[in-house]
Amino acid sequence: MSGIAHHLVKRGMEVTHERYRTGTTVAHQGQDDGKPFGHPYAVAAALTVTVVAWFLAMSAIQYVYGGVVATLTMIETPTATAYTVARVTESDDPDDPLRAAAENDEKRPLKEPDLFLQKKTPITSKIRTTIRHLKAETGSSWAPFRGLHVAVMYHFTLHLLFNFFARLFVAFYIFGRNTHAAQAVAAVLATTLLCRFKMLWTHIVISAPNPEKRWYQRFASLEARKKIVLPTMAWAVAEQLAIYFPAYLFDFFGLDGYARNPQNWREFSPMQRNSVLLALATVVLVGFLTIVLVAVPATVTLKRVQASLLAEEEETVVPFDRTFGGRVLPEVVSGGPSAVGMLDAWRTFDWSARFRLVKLYTKIVAIQVAASAAFVLTAVAEVRLINGDYILY
């Protein structure tokens, strides 16, 4: 949906600029009436504002819901409340110890109480509940955007490192003429080098505000860095696999040629169309499975390993079992920062938590689709309102 919006706005601005520059006329409902093109500057300004608003909206949705809320969902450990149920004894035996212990009570003596444990509803079970909890814990209405400054600096630095390594690999033909391989390896290398920076963002998001420390004072120690390198590299590889493997299949099936020349679709026979649709469905299915079975588990594992390295003096904004069921020892016992293993990080993320995360991602996709559709309709309405019945094609 976002691609459709991008294409519509881009095409509209290109045609607007070209027809204004050349001074040509446009067709009115398919007939050339000789009228000049309407208000090119107004169309360009309106579409530019719409594109910027769409970009900011998508960025906010992805950061708050896909970043902050998803991270809290990945590390929350639901708590349980213990309570007892006391019952009245039915015994009339005067030697009953329970009766004797309460013989001065007006009510009948009590039996042994039953002990029950009731799990509380996780805070991250709903987006609205999570946002409300964050604001209450931090005392700020901007809590959903916590860590944004660190995220901006991280991605800026990541972009610089990625460009440096990618250009270096291409210039020296380290991967031959395969620019995709060069870019994938450059992304993995740059992400791994910034593993402490990436972990810093996670620690800021999951921990309670600490006014005594500035953000740059919350970097994990170099010793902790050794424990996070491998999970970060595994996550970076999984991310590149989710991007390039479906893209490779797209090229392998020759779908890139159909995308560049969609007009050829009319010339295809029914069998050819079915073949193309089957190939496209295969690419979509493989991409979806790669995300669900590879990228998401790698993301959860990385976030939980990062959370296990949070300093002991830092409090978390959601319930979090730092021991991971006794698998991680405190620093005073281990003599240094102790991190949960990658397999244990995933295994301790139980099925109820996985279901919550899948439900969250489903909601995020639905919100993004709805928002993109709204912006597409807005862009179309703007063009029609400014230019009347004139259409761009």
Q: How far apart are CA 156 and CA 249, in angstroms?
A: 30
Shortest CA distance to 231 belongs to which of 300, 320, 156? Answer: 300
Would you state the pLDDT for residue 5? 47
pLDDT value of position 29: 44
pLDDT surpassing 70 at residue 12: no
* Residue 267: predicted pLDDT: 77
50 with 56: CB under 8 angstroms?
no
* Residue 117 binned pLDDT confidence (cut-offs 50, 70, 90): low
% of the chain residues with pLDDT over 90: 54
Residue-wise pLDDT tens digits, 177-208: 888 999 999 999 999 999 999 999 999 999 99
The confidence score (pLDDT) of residue 30 equals: 44
Amino acid at 327: R
pLDDT band at 366 (very low <50, low <70, confident <90, very high): very high
The yes-or-no verdict on residue 34 having pLDDT over 80 is no
Burial class (CB in 10 A: 0-12, 13-18, 19+), 130: buried
Q: How confident is the model at residue 246 (pLDDT cuts 50, 70, 90)?
A: very high
In the predicted model, what is the mean pLDDT of residues 5-12? 50
Q: Identify the residue whose tokens are 């329970």.
A: 98
In the numeric block, which tokens belong to residue 93? Answer: 């035996």
Give yes or no for residue 148 having a pLDDT over 90.
yes
Give CA–CA dist 227/342, Å, rounded: 10
Residue 304's pLDDT is what? 96
Output the CA torsion sign for 332, 338, 341, 346.
positive
**CA angle 70-355-117, nearest 5°?**
100
User: Which of the residue ranges 3-12, 216-225, 250-259, 373-382 has the most confident prediction, judged by mean pLDDT?
Assistant: 373-382
Mean pLDDT of 229-256: 93
Greater pLDDT, 114 or 145: 145
| 8 Å CB contact between 210 and 218 | yes
Contact between 185 and 233 under an 8 Å Cβ cutoff? The reply is no
Closest CA to 314 of 149, 198, 204, 150: 204
Segment 331-353 shows an average pLDDT of 84
pTM given for the model = 0.80
pLDDT beyond 60 at 240:
yes
Residues 302 and 232: beta-carbon distance below 8 Å: yes
Residue 260 has pLDDT above 80, yes or no: no
Q: How confident is the model at residue 8 (pLDDT cuts 50, 70, 90)?
A: very low
Distance CA 83, CA 279 (A): 57
259 pLDDT band, cuts 50/70/90, is confident
Sign of dihedral through CA atoms 56, 61, 62, 67?
positive
Structure tokens, 273: 């169309």
Q: Is the pLDDT of residue 329 over 60?
A: yes
Residue 110 Cα distances to 198, 226, 237, angstroms:
57, 58, 62
Task: List all residues 6 or more positions away from 2 whose beta carbon is below 8 Å from its beta carbon.
Answer: 54, 58, 368, 372
What was the pLDDT predicted at 389? 57
For residues 389 and 380, the answer to whether their CB atoms sit within 8 Å is no
For residues 62 and 41, which has the higher predicted lDDT (pLDDT)? 62
Which of these, 178, 210, 201, lies nearest to 313 by C-alpha position? 210
pLDDT band at 335 (very low <50, low <70, confident <90, very high): low
Region 285-311 average pLDDT: 95
Q: Using an 8 Å Cβ cutoff, are 317 and 207 in contact?
A: yes
In this prediction, residue 1 has a pLDDT band, given cuts at 50, 70 and 90, of very low
pLDDT recorded at residue 94: 54
- What pLDDT is attached to residue 36? 47
pLDDT band at 223 (very low <50, low <70, confident <90, very high): confident
By mean pLDDT, which of 7-11, 35-39, 63-67, 121-125 is the weakest? Answer: 7-11
Extract the tokens encoding 9.
């706005």
Report the alpha-carbon distance of residue 349 to residue 301 in Å, rounded: 9
Q: What is the mean pLDDT of the chain?
A: 83
Alpha helical stretches, state H, the chain: 2-22, 40-63, 70-75, 97-101, 127-138, 148-171, 179-193, 195-206, 222-252, 255-260, 270-290, 296-308, 331-334, 342-347, 351-387
CA 287, distance to chain mean position in Å, is 16
Residue 55 structure tokens: 């970009």
Contacts of 137 (CB under 8 A, 6+ apart): 143, 208, 317
Q: Give the position of tokens 């204004």.
A: 20
More confident residue, 128 or 4: 128
Calculate the alpha carbon distances from 86 to 28, 89, 90, 113, 149 in Å: 82, 10, 13, 4, 54
More confident residue, 21 or 223: 223
Residue predicted with more confidence, 342 or 16: 342
